[in-house]
Structure 1
């Protein structure tokens, strides 16, 4: 009996240690509710994203994990169709040894092919970390089809971060209606002008600021 009590106590402690809480930073649907009927508001804290009563694919909630301090994005399309597979806010840190045989310094081609995922969910912005030098005119550009037009656009960036945001849909000062697109990405060397193909068939799912 004593052993059972100890095991139950340990189980409860482990459960408490592993439990995460999420604080809402942004929600794009004023009618989105928790399963208890309460409307989801900025500032709300909850412990299980399955407690949100998802109704539409394009519903999205930006949160911060209060345990890890990591920003995350939960979207209706994943919870409605996949029934419980959460989508992390994309924030991949490149390992300089990924793609290398461990004996030689990875080439720029090794580094480039490990940066981007196959798909991204975009509510306001998605930051992708890289250890590549993005100074001196070095940058990434995306190409996608919009109607009958083929559009190539430079990605926003900081020193070590590539940023997807809705400026992708601002062309010559004109804002297009953001929509889901399939992209290819190239890396441009600022010194030589050399364009290096990185990856294609990347799905970008765009979520409106307000439904």
Structure 2
């Protein structure tokens, strides 16, 4: 019995070796350093785009049930209340939630945009997206990307505590389509001893086709 215990502990320690570092701006290591881009311009994402984005790449979960994405979800919400406003506009009188017909992005300052979304049910919603915090929102140039992310306050599973970090980015492809990428890592540990047991990862990439004005 003692032999199996030692083997089990070795397996747990080795799996902990696969515990990936955080992958958001400012997390150190090979991650992007906001200080390197403090004076960089932000790309102008202005345009009219399809409201339903198609999956270009993703993990098994995205390939299985998240093959499309709503354009109102790819820009960060300032609060839960703001998110609920958009959810309410997307909901029909019958209680069904519809995809946006299209979204319009308008640049109103160097680091702020207005997002207006028009739904199949005839409703619409609009909000101003502020990206002024240069330590959180990193712009890599006028023809580059807008990148943000961070760490969660932590959570728990049936096996023990875990922490989460995530990163998202927006940019235009060579055809002027809006591209959204996101990734997330859940770092898991055992309840007893706090031994790292590995990292679960998620990633996806969507394209929202540009529409004529």
TM-score (norm 2): 0.27
Judging by fraction of residues, say which structure has more strand.
Answer: 2
Per chain length, whose mean CA-contact separation is higher, i.e. which structure has more relative contact order (CA < 8 Å, sep 6+)? 2
TM-score by length of 1: 0.27
